[in-house]
Homo-oligomer: A and B are copies of this chain.
């Protein structure tokens, strides 16, 4: 009986190393920050030689930026199936339909916003995105080139959609500053669960990591708050 897996080709070997380094870097950069993470620790954690950071990514900073490309792709592909119906809904509300009742528009907008933010709750709280979210937060505290990557590839589209729905829910068609401000306060209600986790675990008397029940409670509260704020 033959082992079904191919023996690692050169391309596979290289890709495996890159992936191991990207994963370790996301974890360690997220947990401790760029400067607190040494190349040696990074390599040890990935199970590879530390010179391979230079070989595959040019430098430590190269690896850092590659982490953001990597995260941006993962987030995009996670958000794609969510954004697809959202954006067709957006087009239906802005262009296609003319005789939609006002109250119906508002209801559909609030629904869309809830969908967006509940998905954001997942990204913020799922263990698989935990490190990614931390890396992004750190980058925002002291932005470099890497922030551009994240903003252009993921955030911009998300924030724009959210803001547009808020605008539409108020019966207008062109978003203004108050809509954008509102979108930020809505995002904040979710983001806080990643950023202030140390305080939250104290305040809620949770032990990390909190489970699915807590996640559901958070989603319910967010949905309820959105409804109250926008209705």
Contact = CB atoms under 8 A, between A and B. Distances in A.
Interface in A151-189: 151, 155-156, 159, 163, 177-178, 180-185, 187-189
A159 B199 contact: yes
Given A181-B217, A228-B228, A229-B228, A187 B192 contact: yes
A198 B140 contact: yes
B155 A184 contact: no
Interface centre among A137, A182, A199 (most CB of B within 10 A): A199
A172 to B, nearest CB: 16
Contacts of A192: 184-185, 187-188, 191-192
A228 to B, nearest CB: 5
B229 A185 contact: no
27 contacts: A31-B142, A32-B142, A33-B35, A33-B36, A33-B141, A35-B35, A137-B137, A138-B141, A140-B197, A141-B195, A143-B198, A147-B198, A155-B202, A159-B199, A177-B217, A178-B217, A181-B221, A184-B196, A185-B192, A187-B196, A188-B191, A188-B196, A191-B196, A195-B195, A228-B228, A228-B229, A228-B231
Interface of A: 31-36, 134, 137-143, 147, 151, 155-156, 159, 163, 177-178, 180-185, 187-193, 195-200, 202-204, 217-218, 221-222, 225, 228-229, 231
